[in-house]
Amino acid sequence: MNLAHFHIILNHVPSLGCIAGLVLLAAAIRTKNAGLKRFSFQILVLVAMSLLPTYISGAEAQRLVRNIPTVSKAMIQAHQNAAMATLLAMTLTGTLAWFGLWEMRRFSRAGWLTTGGTLLAALITAAMIFGTGSLGGKISHSEIRVESDSAVTEAQGWRDPIELFVSRHSWIWPAGETVHFIGMCMLFGMSLLLLMRMLGAVRSIPFTALHRLLPLGILGFVLNVLTGMMFFIASPGLYLGKNAFHIKMTCILLSTIPLLYFTFSSEPWNVQSDKTASMTSKLAAVSTFVLLVAVVIYGRLLPFLN
């Protein structure tokens, strides 16, 4: 199974998951069911996590199929344009949903602004996902194309303008790198604090105090995603087809699992001052730190590795 096949399988996750999260969140709001609201937030966060590998595998799939005669290169470009917009929208939706979970843990309820914003963002994102999926189907299936699709050209969209803008302005790349490093420092610093507390280096600090800082780590992750996508768009040849890039993306996604554990689970929440963390919490903290170290290493060595 190559990455094109993997993309076809994976793209069903955000399509169905976003709809499920949207419907459940709407039902939770209507019935005022806090448990259902928490579950819908969790689904939307997980869907947001799945969209990054969906986009990356789609870019790899483009590289594999674009020279097949029956494939429409114009539809590939249109699909990629829509996929980037959908990725940004789902990132916003997932961030709002995660903040809703953070509020429910800290204040026992999510604010109406967070809940309403997540519902609206999920509704818009679901519509965008359907549009993106429809364009993806037209790449290889000429029977579902309509007459207006013949007017779509390979030159349309955001990719060429962004590549041209980055190449003409020498400050764009270093500015993006600066923001990227700031985001990594925020995420890495948060994981280091979690590691020290869970391993007992700062036993006097309860997890409830560290919980206040978790949004900073998530903000750092979002900054990394946005700037990382800018680098990817500006210079796809630096990343596509490289195993080192695939390993880095895998480490990023795996690192979100223990971070979500510290958001979802009540086990670390019960770690008060001078209390020893459970083995699960210790493993989650160590895993996050080790995976982020791997992300940094592969990110720095990416130009030199295959």
Tell me the per-residue pLDDT of 81-139, one tens digit each, with 9 for 90 and over. Answer: 888 888 889 999 999 999 999 999 888 889 899 999 999 999 999 999 888 887 777 76
Same domain, 164 and 151: no
What's the length of the chain? 306
Residues 292 and 274 in one domain: yes
At 228 the pLDDT is 85
Same domain flag for 225 and 297? yes
Query: For position 77, what pLDDT does the model report?
Result: 76
Domain span including residue 62: 1-156
CA 119/CA 251 separation, integer angstroms: 30
- pLDDT attached to residue 116: 94
pLDDT at 108: 85
Query: Do residue 249 and residue 169 come from a single domain?
Result: yes
Question: Which residue from 120, 101, 112 is spatially nearest to 43, judged by alpha carbons?
Answer: 101
Predicted pLDDT of residue 93: 95
Domain end position, chosen among 156, 189, 209: 156
Judge if 211 and 225 occupy the same domain: yes
Domain-terminating residue out of 156, 179, 198: 156
Tokens in use for 92?
């916003």
> Which of 1, 3, 141 lies closest to 62 in space, CA to CA?
3
Any idea what the Cα angle at residue 274 is, between residues 289 and 201, rounded to 5°? 35
Residues 168 and 88 in one domain: no
- Confidence grade of residue 34 (pLDDT, cut at 50, 70, 90): very high
Q: Are residues 83 and 117 in the same domain?
A: yes
Q: How many domains does the chain have?
A: 2
Distance CA 189, CA 166 (A): 30
List, for residues 239-265, the tens digit of each pLDDT value: 776 788 888 888 888 888 888 888 888
**Same domain, yes or no: 182 and 298:** yes
Task: Answer yes or no: do 124 and 228 share one domain.
Answer: no
Q: Are residues 221 and 185 in the same domain?
A: yes
Cα–Cα distance list, 285 to 189, 196, 290, 306 (Å): 12, 8, 9, 30
User: Based on the domain organization, do 257 and 304 belong to the same domain?
Assistant: yes
Confidence of residue 291 (pLDDT cuts 50, 70, 90): very high
Question: Could you give the CA distance from residue 91 to residue 85 in angstroms, rounded to a whole number?
Answer: 10
**Between these two residues, 235 and 180, which has the higher pLDDT value?**
180
Nearest alpha carbon to residue 153 among 236, 78, 79, 80: 78
- Which three-class secondary structure string do you get for the chain? CCHHHHHHHHCHHHHHHHHHHHHHHHHHHHHCCHHHHHHHHHHHHHHHHHHHHHHHHHHHHHHHHCCCCCCCHHHHHHHHHHHHHHHHHHHHHHHHHHHHHHHHHHHCCCCHHHHHHHHHHHHHHHHHHHHHHHHHHHCCCHHHCCHHHHHCCCCCCCHHHHHHHHHHCCCHHHHHHHHHHHHHHHHHHHHHHHHHHHCCCCCCCCHHHHHCCHHHHHHHHHHHHHHHHHHHHHCHHHCCCCHHHHHHHHHHHHHHHHHHHHHHCCCHHHCCCCCCCCHHHHHHHHHHHHHHHHHHHHHHHHHHCC
Domain boundary among 105, 131, 156: 156
**Is a pLDDT exceeding 60 seen at residue 154?**
no
Round the average pLDDT of the chain to a whole number and report it: 84
**Whether residue 150 sits in one domain with residue 217:** no
At 290 the pLDDT is: 93
pLDDT, position 74: 73
The pTM of this model reads 0.85
Per-residue pLDDT averaged across 264-293, rounded? 89
Query: What was the pLDDT predicted at 150?
Result: 59
